[in-house]
Structure 1
């Protein structure tokens, strides 16, 4: 009687040797693998930014190493007396701002130099979820709205220039009104989905320049029309 299931794992080809340079990045599993390799005297560098779980952050970390993107002092932030950076694990944080900055940039330098000569790049993932700062998202939304408004102004200008160049139609074309639309960003804070007529509430009102009958759009297309407006919603 057999009380176990034999599992045959084929040997890796080519095999990792003691002459190889091994860069490991990713989840805590990377830390465990790296610990065993280091104890067995392999030449490794692991997690120059600390533990990273999701593929997006991991890919950005690799790009930062490739391009040797160092940290600027202005990018550090302080919480409870400790200096941190969003790209780095808290193991790199500390009380001394100058030492924290120096340690992070030294790690980037070390990772960059090692990546150029690495024979192996071992990546491990822990999650598919990515977390972003609300402040960053809000800033991106504002910049996107600003760019959209600039595009509309530019399109209107190009349209006017093109019509002015056609003398036979210049008078007619210039007499047509050119409507300019301004984009105002907003975020959904409440909505109904099961009613005959469904409504959404956004975090913007008359103080933000909104009024009834304005159109509402998203990246996916038309959402609807503003029905009622208060000062803030």
Structure 2
């Protein structure tokens, strides 16, 4: 979905600490951001010729210790600033299953291919998840009282846990989310991406080759429903202009030196300039 925001030039920041699946780890990273608690050397470790941090995704891992710490702490600073200024935040939960490091007794966001014997696997209870979600809301609201929350559950099934275990995991997320949201003001919403995928797009023609992830048809359909619910009518007109420009930019002429193509490029530049006059933050 973040690719859709990027395509339509909607300002966004996506997963600054990489994809994090479980509620406790998401709360933990927001607490660190809220308190601007920087990462230190004790928070990282060396494994398989790379430096890692158990609180973030492996996409941020680095062969250089100093660079990893700089990347992590830059993400904290920028995310803290962004949270204070943004209007909306979308939080997607993926699983209730977590891995706890036996040495530190801490739940990790990512195991980084560390031997499994160093972890215990457990299922978060509905109450623990509910408390974690509430803590996350309060941490973010402390930085930005006017922010609007959109919660959702990932439509990707975690089959590696097992079919039954996946359903149990998702059901804990649903129960905790709806219990929490029911006691919150209107600035908190739930978008049913999982339900749309399971109920409306239940045929396998809407899945990618792995039969787990939504394919482009499904993504486009879910985006359509999301944008109709959460994007203003004014922005829709701008999105239409952006879409026309994006399609034109992807056009490849058979005669790039022709007069006709030069006129096409001139007209396209005029459209871009016109749009940027209305919204200078847009860049193609």
TM-score tier by shorter-chain length is 0.3 to 0.5
Q: Hey, which of these two has a bigger chunk of helix by percent?
A: 2
Q: Which has the larger radius of gyration?
A: 1
Indicate the structure whose relative CO is greater, using CA pairs within 8 Å and at least 6 residues apart.
Answer: 2
TM-score, normalised by the number of residues in structure 1: 0.44
